[in-house]
């Protein structure tokens, strides 16, 4: 009954004209960046973060969430029509989606992707609604010791955030922590790592760091290459899949929705992995696996459902325990802090309007996305024809305005430029920026809780193993490390050295 009442008040918030508008804008932008190859939801959320400063916290989070799950819808369009994933999580959709388009079945492929996304997105939101509250209530038992252990667990996810070298991911994590310590020490008031630069006394903001690493670096990377966008010349008809398509795909959608949600909850896994696992599962249980890769509709429906459901699942660790499960959630973490809200168990208690407003907006957003992605598909096909190099100056412009508007200062533009150059060099040297951002976001929290815990325990670090909750969390962290080391040796050191 409580859930129904809360959901009712959530809908009252989400249906306010302002929030409805920002939900639509988020979904529209999400679909746009999902359709366009190159810039993804990470870059877009980084770039648009400063724009949200003018909004109420609920509107801001509703819009940013719309960008996130909207990009999952849009990503399939490019995969099916161009054979280039518009978004990383739609990579696997290329396999059967493009084949279907080549066979003249682009319509049912696009339609099934959108319908599957809608069903899975809704299943994911229901899961988020049901599971978040009990987990948050458990999280209320946390003190500095438990928080400290939780943040260490969050940091250990760096290993799983990297797709390449684990060693380099750990280096990025350590560097991210160092960057997060720049500026005034909140306990003693002394300045650290500022090198006598007065403007660094307040530390470095997340916004220019994220915009530099993901926005400017993306532009620099694309200056030197061309993204071929040859759209398949096919008539898009019969967008609504027929009865036999539904019969073939219904199981894949259901399995993808449930699987995607639980994989999304797992830290470090996210939409990309869930789509791959869903595809593998569908292929494994299929009566005729040889159809996969040749235009099987389950190969589109399963992964597209899984990646959408995973986006809702990823919100659980963030909103209930304050652990960002992936890089986008790390940006949400930063966004919530900027808006004066501390992600964690108290969020649901202190700001129920944010949580339930977000949940309700996700129901509404999924409906909006179905409309945006089915009847409006010809418009998105036209968008694909815009030369990417015309969009690059636009990304630069958004980054500049975003960085400047943070403190009305050009210093932030310089910081963004430095991180843009760093981000570009990281790509060249095979480093991934995601672990850096995660550590950068968690660094100050780790410092606060660790120093507090050490002072309370008088320097005795056995609290990690003697307190029941911390012992469980630290055991999970150690298990994650051990699994990673075993994988390293199993792969003959391929992942852990230099990429």
Partner 1 sequence: MKRLDQLSGFFWLFISIIVCVESISVRIGSFQNPGPGFLPFGSGIALGTLAIILLITSTMKKRIEGKVISIREVDLAKVILFLISIFLYALFLSWIGYLIMTLGLILFLLIIMERSRLWIKIIISIFIVLTSYVIFYKLLNINLPRGLFWF
The binding site for partner 1 (CB under 8 A) comprises 51, 54, 167-168, 170-171, 174-175, 177-178, 181, 185, 187-188, 190-193, 195, 216, 219-220, 223-224, 387, 389-390, 392-394, 396-397, 400-401, 404-405, 408, 410, 413-414, 417, 420-421, 424, 428-431, 443, 446-447, 450-451, 454-455, 458-461, 497-499
The string of DSSP codes covering 371-423 is HHHTTTHHHHHHHTTS-HHHHHHHHHHHHHHHHHHHHT-THHHHHHHHHHHHH
The least distance separating partner 1 from the CB of residue 405, rounded to whole angstroms, comes to: 5
Least Cα distance to 477 among 216, 25, 24, 152 occurs for: 152
- Burial (CB count <10 Å: 0-12, 13-18, 19+), residue 390: exposed
d(C-alpha 53, C-alpha 214), whole Å: 20
Q: Which two tokens stand for residue 336?
A: 């919530």
433: left (phi over 0), alpha (psi -120 to 50) or beta: alpha
CB of 424 to partner 1, least distance (A): 7
Q: Are strands 183-184 and 191-192 parallel, antiparallel or unpaired?
A: antiparallel
Measured from the CB of residue 47, what is the shortest distance to partner 1 in angstroms? 12
Check the CA dihedral 497-328-425-206 and report its sign.
Answer: negative
**Min CB(244)–partner 1 separation in Å:** 46
Q: Which is nearer to partner 1, 4 or 223 (CB)?
A: 223
Residue 332: name the closest of 92, 21, 86, 44 by CA.
44
Nearest-CA neighbor of 404 among 396, 416, 412? 412
Q: Which two tokens stand for residue 216?
A: 């400017």
Residues 120/260, Cβ–Cβ less than 8 Å? yes
Shorter beta-carbon distance to partner 1: residue 112 or 216: 216
If the CB atoms of residues 80 and 406 are measured against partner 1, the closer one turns out to be 406
Provide the sign of the torsion angle of the four alpha carbons 75, 76, 79, 85, taken in this order.
Answer: positive
Nearest approach, Cβ of 414 to partner 1 (angstroms)?
5
Phi first, then psi: what are they for 430, rounded to 5°?
70, 40
- The distance of closest approach from Cβ of residue 219 to partner 1 in the complex, given in angstroms and rounded to an integer, is 7
For residues 15 and 174, which CB has a smaller minimum distance to partner 1 in the complex? 174
Contacts of 339 (CB under 8 A, 6+ apart): 52, 57, 60, 61
Beta carbon of residue 233, minimum distance to partner 1 (angstroms, whole number): 24
> What gap in Å lies between CA 13 and CA 359, rounded to an integer?
10
Cα(386)–Cα(447) distance, rounded to whole angstroms?
46
Comparison of 167 and 374: residue with beta carbon closer to partner 1: 167
Nearer to partner 1 by Cβ, of 50 and 124: the residue is: 50
Token readout for 191 is 């300045």
Element housing 290 (H / E)? none
Nearer to partner 1 by C-beta: 109 or 399? 399
| Minimum gap (Å) between residue 447 Cβ and partner 1 | 5
Q: Which is nearer to partner 1, 174 or 232 (CB)?
A: 174
> Between 104 and 499, whose beta carbon lies closer to partner 1?
499
CB 145, min distance to partner 1, A: 14
Q: How far is the CB of 261 from partner 1 (least distance, A)?
A: 35
For partner 1, the closer CB: 175 or 355: 175
């Amino acid at each position: 009954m409580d859930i129904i009442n809360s959901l009712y008040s959530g809908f009252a918030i989400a249906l306010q004209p302002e929030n409805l508008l920002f939900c639509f804008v988020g979904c529209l932008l999400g679909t746009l960046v999902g359709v366009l190859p190159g810039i993804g939801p990470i870059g877009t959320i980084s770039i648009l973060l400063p724009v949200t400063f003018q909004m109420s916290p609920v509107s801001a989070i509703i819009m940013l969430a719309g960008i996130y799950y909207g990009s999952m819808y849009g990503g399939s369009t490019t995969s099916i029509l161009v054979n280039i994933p518009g978004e990383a999580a739609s990579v696997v959709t290329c396999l059967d989606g493009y084949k279907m388009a080549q066979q003249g079945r682009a319509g049912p492929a696009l339609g099934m992707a959108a319908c599957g996304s809608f069903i899975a997105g809704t299943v994911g939101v229901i899961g988020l609604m049901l599971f978040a509250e009990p987990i948050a209530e458990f999280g209320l038992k946390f003190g500095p010791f438990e928080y400290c252990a939780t943040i260490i667990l969050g940091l250990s996810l760096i290993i799983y955030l990297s797709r390449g070298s684990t060693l380099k991911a750990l280096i990025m994590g350590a560097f991210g922590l160092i960057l997060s310590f720049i500026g005034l020490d909140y306990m003693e008031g002394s300045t650290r790592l500022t090198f006598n630069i007065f403007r660094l006394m307040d530390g470095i903001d997340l916004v220019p760091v994220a915009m530099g690493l993901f926005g400017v670096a993306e532009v620099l990377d694309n200056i030197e290459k061309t993204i071929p966008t040859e759209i398949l010349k096919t008539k898009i008809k019969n967008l609504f899949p027929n009865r036999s398509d539904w019969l073939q795909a219904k199981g894949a959608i259901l399995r993808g929705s449930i699987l995607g949600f639980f994989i999304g909850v797992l830290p470090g896994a996210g939409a990309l992995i869930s789509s791959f696992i869903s595809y593998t599962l569908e292929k494994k249980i299929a009566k005729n696996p040889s159809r996969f890769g040749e235009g099987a509709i389950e190969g589109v429906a399963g992964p597209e459902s899984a990646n959408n459901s995973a986006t809702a699942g990823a919100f659980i660790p963030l909103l209930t325990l304050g652990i960002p499960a992936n890089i986008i959630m790390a940006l949400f973490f930063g966004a919530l802090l900027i808006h004066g809200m501390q992600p964690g168990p108290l969020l649901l208690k202190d700001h129920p309007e944010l949580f339930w407003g977000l949940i309700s907006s996700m129901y509404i957003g999924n409906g909006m996305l179905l409309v945006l992605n089915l009847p409006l598909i010809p418009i998105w096909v036209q968008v694909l024809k815009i030369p990417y190099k015309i969009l690059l100056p636009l990304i630069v412009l958004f980054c500049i305005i975003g960085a400047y508007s943070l403190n009305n200062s050009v210093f932030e533009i310089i910081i963004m430029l430095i991180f843009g150059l760093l981000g570009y060099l990281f790509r060249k040297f095979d480093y991934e920026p995601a672990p850096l951002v995660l550590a950068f976001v968690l660094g100050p929290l780790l410092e606060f809780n660790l120093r507090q815990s050490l002072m309370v325990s008088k320097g005795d670090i056995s609290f990690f193993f003697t307190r029941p909750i911390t012992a469980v969390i630290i055991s999970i962290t150690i298990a994650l490390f051990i699994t990673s080391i075993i994988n390293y040796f199993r792969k003959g050191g391929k992942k852990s050295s230099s990429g």
